[in-house]
Structure 1
Amino acid sequence: MAPRTILLAALLAGSATPAAAQETPNIEMWRLDCGTIELSDTAPFSDTHLYDGEPRTLTDSCYLIRNGDRYLLWDAGLPAALRGTSATQWVFTLSVEKTIAEQLAEIEVAASDITYIGVSHYHDDHIGQAAEFPDAELLIGRGDAEAVTSGRMEATRAQLAPWLAEGAEGKVTRIAGDHDVFGDGSVRMVAMHGHTPGHKALVVELPQSGTYMLTGDLYHFEEQIENKGVPVFNTDRADTLASFHRFNQMADNLDATIVIQHDPRHLVRLPTFPESAR
C-alpha cells in the first residue's frame, strides 16, 4: 500500500468513532422560580434614557440541568431570607415565594446531589442561595471572582463564602473564557463580558428540544435586543455591545431558542416546573 493510502486509511480509522461512544447524553433542564423583581422605574436599564419612567415586572429564573447523574444549578436566585416577604432597594422591590431547595425537593433532588453551581455573574439576584450548596463546585467568571475577592465587595464575598472567603475550602473554577461544564459539549458557559467583568451566558444542547441559550443578565428583557439598551450599572459598555453581537450571532448560527432569564414573557419557552425540557 502506498504511503499516501496508508495515511488516509489511518485518518479515516481515527475518525470512525464506534456508535456506542457517540451515545447522546441523557440531559434534561428545569426552570426554577427564584423570585420576582418589581421595577418602579426601568430607567437604570438604559444609559441613553430608552426606558425612563416605565414600570416593569421581572422574573428571577434559575435552572437545573441534569447530565446523567451529575447536576448543574445555573444561577442561585434571590436570598432565601426573602421567602414570604419583600424588600425594596432603589427602584427594585424583591420577593421570593419558594426557595431553590424546596423546589428541588419536589423532584427528589437533594442539595448534596448538585455537582456544580454555575453563576452568570456576582449580582445578588444570581447568587442569593448559592451558599446552601457548599459541597458543589462553583463555576464563576475569572473577572467576577477577582472583583469579589478584591476587598471592595465584602457583602457579595460573604454570599460566596464557601468558595471565595479567606481560607475557604469549597472547590471553585475561575473561567477566563468559555467552559465545557460536563466535558461532552452539551452545556457550555460562554463569555459575555460587560454586565460584569466575567459575565457568562449558558448554551444547553438538549437531545429532543434542541439548543437553548440562557442570557444571564446580558439582556433583561426583549426590548434590549431590539434597541441595544445598556444598563447604567454595567461595568463596561464596549464589552457589553461586543457581547450583544457575539450572543446574537451565536444564537443565529446554532438556531438556538433564546431564554432571557428575567423576562416573564420567556417563561413559556420552557416547560412549567416540575416538568422538564429534554
Structure 2
Amino acid sequence: MKNNKSKDIKNFLNFEFSSEEEKETFKKSSKTYSEYKEIIELFDNVKPLDYNEEVILEQLDHARLKPSTKKQQVIPLYKKWMPISISATVLLFVSVALFNIKSNLEHHTLAGESVQISLPDASKVWLNAKSNIAYNKAWEKSRAINLKGEAYFEVAKGETFTVKTPQGIVTVLGTKFNVKQRDTSFEVYCYEGTVAVMYKGKETILKANNFFNSKTLDIDMQKSIAAKTKPNWIENVSIFENTPIYDVVSDISIQYDIEFDINSNLNKDLKYTGSYHYDDTLETVLSVFCESLDLEYVKKGKSIYLNKK
C-alpha cells in the first residue's frame, strides 16, 4: 500500500501520467491524492526546466578549451531536472549550511580549560571553562560575538562591539569587561570604560568597577568595594565573598566536570566565603568547602552528593 502511494505521488510530481485524463482521474478517485492534497498541489503548476543540450555542451567545450591558471570543476548536467520549487529549497538549505561553515569562526572550552583568543581588530578574549563564542569572519563589518558561558574581553577602540548571550546583550566601544552567562544567572563586570547592558528590555550603564547581576537588580548594590583589574579566574583562582551555595557549586562544576546533587534539607540561603586554585585536587576543594559550611559529601562517579553533617 505504501509503495503504491509513493509511486502515485512520484508520478504526479514528475509529470509522468500518460495524459491529462489519467492525471484528472488520479486526482478525483485516488485516496493518496485526498490524503496529501495540500502538499501535492503545491507542485501542481511546476514544470520541468527546459534547456538546449547542444548549446550547453558547446558552452562547456568552449570553457574547457579556454586557457586558465586555475583548475575548472565541471559539473555534469542531467536531462531530467527536479521540480524548481524542490530544487530551490534544497539549494537554499545547502547554501545556508555552507555559508555558516565558511563565514563563522567558533571557539569552545572543556571543563577545567580556558583559552586566550585574539580577534581580527586586536581585541582579546579569555574564554573560561565550558564556554564558547562564535563570530563572523567579516569582522570589520560587524564586531559582534555570540557567547555561551563566561569570557573576559579587552576591546580595542573602534566601532560598536557587541556580546550577545541567551539572557542579555552587552554593548561597548572600547573597554575591559567580563560577561558570565549560565543557566540561572547573567553577570557583567566593567573593569575599564563604559558598558551598556540590555536585560529583559531594560538598559543599564556600567562604569569602571560597577557590575550587573540578574539576581541583584538594585543599582546601589552593583558597585565593587575594591577596584579590580581582571577577573580572578584569569589567574586560575575562584574567590567567593558571601556567595550563595548554588553559585559556588556551579563554579566548581565547570572546573572539575562534575555534577552536584544538593539534599533538599540544606538551607537554600546558605552562603560561602573562601577560595580555591584550579590546580587543587577536587578532594581538597570539597573538603575545605564542606568544612566551612558544616557539610559532608559523597562522590559517586561524576556526581557529588551534599548533605548536612
* Range into which the TM-score falls when normalised by the shorter chain: under 0.3
Per the normalisation by structure 1, the TM-score is 0.27
Larger Rg: 2
